[in-house]
Amino acid sequence: MATHGKKYINALEKIQSLKKDTFSIKEALLKVKELSFAKFDESVDVNVQLNIDPAKSDQAVRGSVLLPHGTGRIIKVLVFAKGEHAEKAQKAGADYVGSTELVDKISEGWIDFDYVVATPDMMGPVGKLAKILGPRGLLPNVKTGTVTFDVDKIVSELKKGRSFFKNDKSGAVHFSIGKVSFDPSKLSDNFEAFVRALSSSRPAAAKGRFVKSVTVASSMGPGLDIDVDELMKL
């Protein structure tokens, strides 16, 4: 059974003392910042419970969003490319660029990167890393735009804050919209951009109300429930 420390319990009691079931986006984000207690710059995380059947492939939710103010994280991008495409990736700011030598390095256990991009002609060698990259959500994919000859564009977007999301086995989507140190207006902008992207990813097979509940919290703190009716007006 999970237990929480005194600082977490104190933050939770402060939320409960407000005697509110749900909060507006602005209220919730201000409270998350106010109640943050960790000694490091926590992430501000959003948990969305969707009204989907995650066991059905035609109800899977997957997408990406270019956050207007980034994530606050230093992102390392690896690109599998050769020739002119490798040069474009380097100019766009990719941290690692190469071909089969990177395949060998990863096969030996090296995973010091956050995203992987590959040109279509490199997917043969990259496919050998499926068992390593796949479980970590790092395998390049056409649907997410990480398999492309336009490597400079996707590398630039990833560096600026493009982030990906997908539902888990419970039908929930977990997503970080920035850091506690962000100005509330920037967190709000990122939050709204994510919600719009999530709404646009609604599968045709999903019935009824798409979003069941939304909670926002710092990575170490208790969650605050967002007013879903307000959220759906975005």
Rounded to an integer, what distance in angstroms lies between the CA atom of residue 134 and that of residue 122? 16
Rounded to an integer, what distance in angstroms lies between the CA atom of residue 161 and that of residue 170? 26
Query: Residue 229: its pLDDT value, please?
Result: 87
pLDDT of the chain along its 234 residues, tens only?
457 789 999 999 999 998 899 999 999 999 999 999 999 999 999 999 999 999 999 999 999 999 999 999 999 999 999 999 999 999 999 999 999 999 999 999 999 999 999 999 999 999 999 999 999 989 999 988 999 999 999 999 999 999 999 999 999 999 999 999 999 999 999 999 999 999 999 999 999 999 999 999 999 999 999 999 888 777
Burial of 22 (0-12, 13-18, 19+ CB in 10 A): middle
> Which residues, in sequence order, are CB contacts of 136 under 8 Å at separation 6+?
111
Q: Which domains does the chain have, with CATH numbers?
A: 16-70+162-231 (3.30.190.20), 77-159 (3.40.50.790)
- The pTM (predicted TM-score) of the whole model is 0.87
Query: Residue 1: its pLDDT value, please?
Result: 40
What is the DSSP code (8-state) at residue 58?
G
C-alpha closest to that of 122 among 94, 88, 151: 151
Residue-wise DSSP of 20-33: -S-B-HHHHHHHHH
C-alpha closest to that of 88 among 174, 179, 149, 17: 149
Query: Residue 144: its pLDDT value, please?
Result: 87
